Amino acid sequence: MDDRPILLFDSGVGGLSVLATVRELLPQASLVYVADSAGFPYGTKSEAEIAARVPALLGRLAERYDPRLIVIACNTASTIALGAVRAALDVPIVGTVPAIKPAAEISATRVIGVLGTDATVRQPYVADLAARFASDCTVLRHGSAALVELAEAKLRGEPADRDSCRAALAGLFDQPGGDRIDVVVNACTHFPLIADELAAAAPHAVTFVDGANGIARRVAHLTAGQDGPAKPKHRAVFTRLSAPERRLMRALARYGIDRLESL
């Protein structure tokens, strides 16, 4: 039996959308969810800041929690720092990448939207994915820091502002060709947490896709044969634990997390 936890890392609570899928597929795995609340948000930071911060922080976390696998449940951190983290740590690392390939597989209009943070959508990695897997599609991109904040607020129990959702989506759908978008890639793990609000705010019916299922399947593959404890324990760790983070306890409990810690 392997009692070591699987560690999931994000700048905030967006990675809970990935944790939920991993927990469903691997119900016997203990999970450590880490939110870099002291560094939040990542989407408005420079590549240099993220490239320096994420590997150093994950190194500390690996020492403290001895995980059998780490999931970087953050598109921004993955597109910028995944290679450096893999080079620095002797632990299997699963990253998060925009789900452009599955979006292209289901798009009928061949126009796809990629909705993420500013830092994610401007990465050459996104253009490379589009060239490799959606070369016959028009791929429109838009970054929104406001939607990240809306998702965080929703989990604290605050109502999501649909007008803000509409304003953020307008940056995508108002681009030339945006009226033909039929699939939107949620290229930020925060965005599935406000899936209902996004669907209601979209100017026409679209399908939203994300990478959580693919990540969970990859984690299951890499940990195959590693039986976990009969009663797994889940905890959340924040790099800054203040009043806003403590207001997340009710939401965290819905994900099976009943222990809160600071790093």
Asked whether residue 204 falls in the same domain as residue 172, the answer is: yes
Which of 174, 189, 210 is at the close of a domain? 210
pLDDT band at 3 (very low <50, low <70, confident <90, very high): confident
234 pLDDT more than 80: yes
**Is residue 1 one of the residues assigned to a domain?**
no
pLDDT digits (tens, 9 = 90+) for 87-139: 999 999 999 999 999 999 999 999 999 999 999 999 999 999 999 999 999 99
Give residue 166's identity as a one-letter amino acid code: R
In a domain, 22, yes or no: yes
Listing DSSP states for 105-143 in one string gives HH-SSSEEEEEE-HHHHT-HHHHHHHHHH-TTSEEEEEE
Question: Is the distance from CB of 153 to CB of 194 less than 8 angstroms?
Answer: no
φ/ψ of 145, rounded to 5, equals -80, -25
Residue 20 has what pLDDT? Answer: 97
pLDDT of residue 164: 87
Residue 182: is its pLDDT beyond 90?
A: yes
pLDDT of residue 171: 95
Same domain, 116 and 206: yes
Structural domain containing residue 199: 100-210
> What integer pLDDT is reported at residue 146 of this predicted model?
92
d(CA 226, CA 224): 6
Q: Residue 231 and residue 249: Cα distance in Å, rounded?
A: 21
The confidence score (pLDDT) of residue 225 equals 87
Residues with catalytic annotation?
74, 188
Contact between 155 and 16 under an 8 Å Cβ cutoff? The reply is: yes
Whole-model pTM? Answer: 0.94
Q: Name residue, tokens 């292209």.
A: 104
Is residue 63 domain-shared with residue 120, that is, in the same domain?
no
Average pLDDT over residues 237-255: 94
Work out the average pLDDT over 77-88. 95
Cα–Cα distance, 105 to 164 (Å, whole number): 30
Together in a domain, 206 and 220:
no
How many domains, the chain? 2
Q: How far is CA 80 from CA 6, 52, 212, in A?
A: 22, 10, 19
